[in-house]
Copies of this chain bind each other. A is one copy, B any other.
């Protein structure tokens, strides 16, 4: 397992290295926030999250970017809620997979999330959430685990929301209570 995780970690790093043409290597800070376990999720929960996240890409409406993204939320109540990107002819009106999943969860009555899975069709990279989605996830808590899967879920890594949006702007900045998440 350790060997597996090491190789996985390495492959993740390489993905990121290829991804950031402005960096000669993965930043130390970035290395330090990448986790390769799924502590906090049982094998069954992890398997469910992965399967539903990969499957969610089939829900994508992305005729403009042809870039399918799927996301699945695991709520603290144990519910799995999926989303996908829904694009628009006016690009600014496009809504990413993470946000369609989050809003679907909220209007389904859930505001506390344990984990979010995300997958794209990138073959040799592991996609990462955009800043808009980090902001929308953050509204409901800083301690959400985000699982980033490659195209088929054969590789992944985990990051924590608070690590990919440090010094974030949230409810307490406007005098409102923070959520538990």
Contact = CB atoms under 8 A, between A and B. Distances in A.
Nearest to A62: B91
A171 B63 CA distance: 9
Nearest to A126: B167
Nearest to A120: B173
Contacts of A61: 106, 111
A163 B29 contact: yes
A54 interface: no
Interface string A73-105: 000000000111011111111111001111110
A177 interface: yes
A59 interface: yes
A122 interface: yes
Q: How many copies does the complex hold?
A: 4
A3 interface: no
A23 B181 CA distance: 12
Contacts of A23: 142
A165 B103 contact: no
Given A89-B176, A130-B131, A166-B166, 18 more contacts: A16-B167, A20-B172, A20-B178, A22-B178, A22-B179, A29-B33, A33-B166, A86-B102, A87-B91, A89-B135, A89-B169, A90-B132, A90-B135, A92-B94, A92-B132, A95-B103, A99-B103, A127-B173
9 contacts: A16-B167, A22-B178, A29-B33, A89-B174, A89-B176, A95-B103, A104-B104, A127-B173, A130-B169
